[in-house]
Copies of this chain bind each other. A is one copy, B any other.
Amino acid sequence: MMRTRPLKVALLGCGVVGSEVARIMTTHAADLAARIGAPVELAGVAVRRAGRPRPGVPEHLVTTDATELVKRGDIDVVVEVIGGIEPARGLILSAFEHGASVVSANKALLAQDGAALHAAAVGAGVDLYYEAAVAGAIPLIRPLRESLAGDKVNRVLGIVNGTTNFILDKMDSSGAGYSEALEEATALGYAEADPTADVEGFDAAAKAAILAGIAFHTRVTAAEVYREGITEVTAADIRSAKEMGCVVKLLAICERARDGRSVTARVHPAMIPLSHPLASVREAYNAVFVEAEAAGRLMFYGPGAGGSPTASAVLGDLVAVCRNKIAEATGPGESAYTELPARPMGDVVTRYHVSLDVADRAGVLAQVATVFAEHGVSIDTVRQQGRDGDASLVVVTHRATDAALSATVDKLRALDSVRDVASIMRVEGE
């Protein structure tokens, strides 16, 4: 029962992902048609600069006028792989107004304006799908939104940025410092020329916002996600983690509060035990743990970026929205009915690894321990090592709020006997 009129697709952006989407649409046209129930046709490709060679993209389809392409009126689906806020947002809204469904890989935009975009899609009676926005090819949005729709997700914990995982993995395996590992990542193409979005955690924070919203059926924006990057992680931190049987990973963690009335979302480096499945996620791979009430602990693993994996996710969405178009239906849209507020970082409860440089004299440990006790932060283990009159003191705490730990650290800094708070790192995954 194949429909013969093809569905027309406008592709916005023809970089690493876009060109791969175009290539697969051509080479796998028969498969896509069979799976959709109608042929799909690439009806136009909007690019920033004309005249470049684009193998596999017919010259006559290329335009520099994305606005005009979206408004043409015969477009069934717009695939947006431009990235960034504008002009992507305006183009998506215009696509909706002209009756087109949208498949997007734009995490920054969705993490900032997801609510408005979803509302616009609903208003227009079309779909907005974005599996490719989080963790590349790894099916994550659809499992969270559909497979777990009958369950209650309590926690999402994952490695969602390949660049930083590559850098931390390199530091762990070679003992290299941050700068050296970043250099290698850049040379190998794992880090961009300006790596800020990755290494400062902005990319992971956008993904955390999207995941938290879907997992908890609420709305979380990137601005509400606590964010710490990996630029301050030192070779000494990695060594310290090893001594504890841990490894350092940049984690995105979304949690439902124990009372069920709020959620938290955060991105920061953390030590996790080697026995945790996320510890063995190497190089630029991504993996996400999901803890749900009935399902238990699930993990999803795969390549989190790259042209082909991201194109795979885009095309999976393309098949789904095309099928919906033919059925004159829409898929599951935003589900934000719980309206759970996002709470600040101070409310987050976890464990901490605190490394102090202290004077090597009697009574210092007692002083330090007292400060922890005064703030209700219970100490799990202490390791002290003398060093030329100074000593290093590593304290690992039991679970405490971030606010209590921060207050503890402020007080420690004020102690005469504490020369420096060398590092503070959270301990997760236990």
Contact = CB atoms under 8 A, between A and B. Distances in A.
Interface of A: 20, 24, 28, 31-32, 34-35, 131, 137-139, 142-143, 146-152, 217, 277, 280, 292-303, 306, 308-309, 311-320, 323-324, 327-330, 332, 335, 337-338
Contact of A139 (B298, B314, B328): B298
A348 B294 CA distance: 38
A296 to B, nearest CB: 4
B302 A295 contact: yes
A402 B150 CA distance: 43
Given A28-B152, A149-B35, A337-B34, A295 B313 contact: yes
A299 B323 CA distance: 26
A298 B137 contact: yes
A312 B300 contact: no
Contacts of A327: 327, 329-330
A139 B311 CA distance: 21
A297 B292 contact: no
Contact of A149 (B138, B147, B320, B329): B320
Contact of A146 (B28, B148, B316): B316
B316 A35 contact: no
A321 to B, nearest CB: 11
B24 A150 contact: yes
Contacts of A314: 150
Given A294-B137, A299-B299, A312-B151, A320 B146 contact: yes
- Of A150, A313, A314, most buried by chain B (CB within 10 Å of CB) is A150
A34 B294 CA distance: 18
A305 B317 CA distance: 29
Contacts of A139: 139, 142-143, 147-148, 298
Contact of A295 (B137, B150, B293): B137
14 contacts: A20-B294, A24-B150, A31-B217, A34-B217, A34-B338, A35-B217, A35-B332, A143-B143, A150-B314, A150-B319, A151-B315, A295-B313, A323-B332, A327-B327
Contacts of A319: 146, 149-150
A312 B277 contact: no
Contacts of A299: 299-302
Contact of A296 (B298, B303, B328): B303
B295 A312 contact: yes
Nearest to A24: B294
A37 to B, nearest CB: 9
A427 to B, nearest CB: 21
A62 B233 CA distance: 60
Nearest to A36: B149
B315 A296 contact: no
B303 A301 contact: no
A216 to B, nearest CB: 11
A328 B296 CA distance: 32
A312 B151 CA distance: 6
B294 A311 contact: yes
A295 to B, nearest CB: 4
Contacts of A302: 295-299
A146 to B, nearest CB: 6
